[in-house]
Amino acid sequence: MPRRARLSLPNVPLHIIQRGNNRQACFFADDDYRFYLDWLREHAARTGCRVHAWVLMTNHVHLLVSADQPEASGALMKALGQRYVQYINRTYRRSGTLWEGRFRSCLTQEESYLLSCQRYIELNPVRANLVAHPADYRWSSYRANAEGESDTLLTPHPLYDALGTDAASRQAAYRELFRHELEPGLVDEIRRATNGNFALGNEGFAAQVTAALGRRAVPGKSGRPRRMQEPESGDLFGG
């Protein structure tokens, strides 16, 4: 059975997860994290991708990326994944695959879901019980987004920039978003969309994605399929 084509559109943020094969570790030492981030920065620039948030866990990676070209995210992950696997195999004298296969992803509606998705990404170490607060975890974008730590990998999304009139006010507003944990229903929604390669957003956003790509952007329903309706006018994708 052929694989579903990945949903990807220009300038629409994409939440990406890539896991270690059989959920085994893909980072073993501090240098591994550093090299991965250096190469992520390099290949993001080469492929025209903008990274808004990231976290490196022991056995998987989360990224929030947008790009001018729909194929750019795939090119980024392919180049980065191959280079990192070569480094790991050479360094640890191993062979074979490191990653689980194709990375998983979902298009993310900016207005309603983008900042929630950033929180989801940066709260991963807390949900995994590795730390009590995202600021305590070294390998994520939280310290840059919330505390102003230098991170040349990041390109803030316009919705992040709109949180305040200067860096200090933006960071304070962003920290305020983390005073409460994400609702379990929202966590499940993000996971379903990412694991299933669906659109993360409201019905109007899903309809626009479906119309733009000519294929289903939400999980199918049992029973006889109904005729697709045209989405309402208006651009829900943002800039």
Domain ranges of the chain: 14-201
Provide the pLDDT for residue 238.
38
Provide the pLDDT for residue 49.
97
Sign of CA dihedral 165, 168, 171, 175: negative
- The token pair at 108 is 């993310």
Q: What does the pLDDT average to over 10-35?
A: 95
Provide the pLDDT for residue 145.
98
CA distances for 234 relative to 129, 217, 223, 230, 231, angstroms: 42, 18, 30, 12, 9
Tens digit of pLDDT for each residue in 87-146? 999 999 998 889 998 899 999 998 889 999 999 999 999 999 999 999 999 999 999 999
Provide the pLDDT for residue 229.
38
- The token pair at 39 is 């190469």
pTM value is 0.88
Percent of the chain at pLDDT > 90 equals 73
Percent of the chain at pLDDT > 70 equals 90
Q: For the chain, give the mean pLDDT.
A: 89
Chain-centroid distance of CA 96 in Å reads: 26
Provide the pLDDT for residue 216.
82
Provide the pLDDT for residue 234.
35
Largest CA distance in the chain: 56
CATH topology of domain 14-201: Alpha-Beta Plaits (3.30.70)
More confident residue, 220 or 43: 43
Beta bridge partner(s), residue 107: 14
At 9, is the pLDDT very low, low, confident or very high (cuts 50, 70, 90)?
A: confident
